[in-house]
A and B are shown apart, each in its own frame.
Chain A
Amino acid sequence: MKLLIDLFFTFSRVGLLTFGGGYAMLPILQKEVGETKKWATEEEMIDYFAIGQTTPGIIAVNTATFIGQKQRGILGGIAATLGLVFPSYIIITIIAMFMRNFSDSVILQNAFAGIRVSVYVLILNAVLKLWKSSVVDKIGLLIFLLVFTLSIFTNWSPAVFVVIAGVIGVIVKWQERRQVK
Chain B
Amino acid sequence: MIYLQLFYEFFKTGLFAVGGGLATLPFLYDMSDSTGWFTHEQLADMIAISESTPGAIGINMATYTGHLTAGYLGGLVATIGLVTPSIIIILIIARVLTKFRENQIVEATFYGLRPASTALIAAAGFSVVWLDLFDFSHLVNTNDWLGFINLKALVLAVILFFLMRHKLVKHLHPIFFIALSAIVGMIFQFAQ
Contact = CB atoms under 8 A, between A and B. Distances in A.
B76 to A, nearest CB: 7
Given A69-B94, A110-B189, A110-B191, A148 B123 contact: yes
Interface in A154-181: 157-159, 161-162, 164-170, 172-174
B185 interface: yes
Contact of B18 (A19, A127, A158): A158
Interface residues of A, number: 104
Contacts of B51: 20-21, 112
Interface residues of B, number: 96
Contacts of A22: 20-21, 56-57
Contact of A121 (B107, B111, B157): B157
Looking at chain A's contact residues, the main secondary structure is helix
B108 to A, nearest CB: 4
Contacts of B68: 96
Contacts of A151: 119-120, 123-124
A56 B122 contact: no
B54 A91 contact: yes
B140 interface: no
Given A19-B178, A50-B113, A112-B185, A56 B17 contact: yes
Given A77-B87, A110-B190, A165-B115, A92 B20 contact: no
A117 B121 contact: no
A91 B90 CA distance: 26
Given A17-B175, A118-B180, 8 more contacts: A21-B56, A69-B91, A106-B191, A110-B190, A114-B188, A118-B181, A119-B178, A166-B109
Interface of B: 14-24, 45, 48-60, 63-64, 67-68, 72, 75-76, 79, 82-83, 85-87, 89-91, 93-95, 97-98, 104-105, 107-129, 132, 153, 156-157, 160-161, 164-165, 173-175, 177-178, 180-186, 188-192
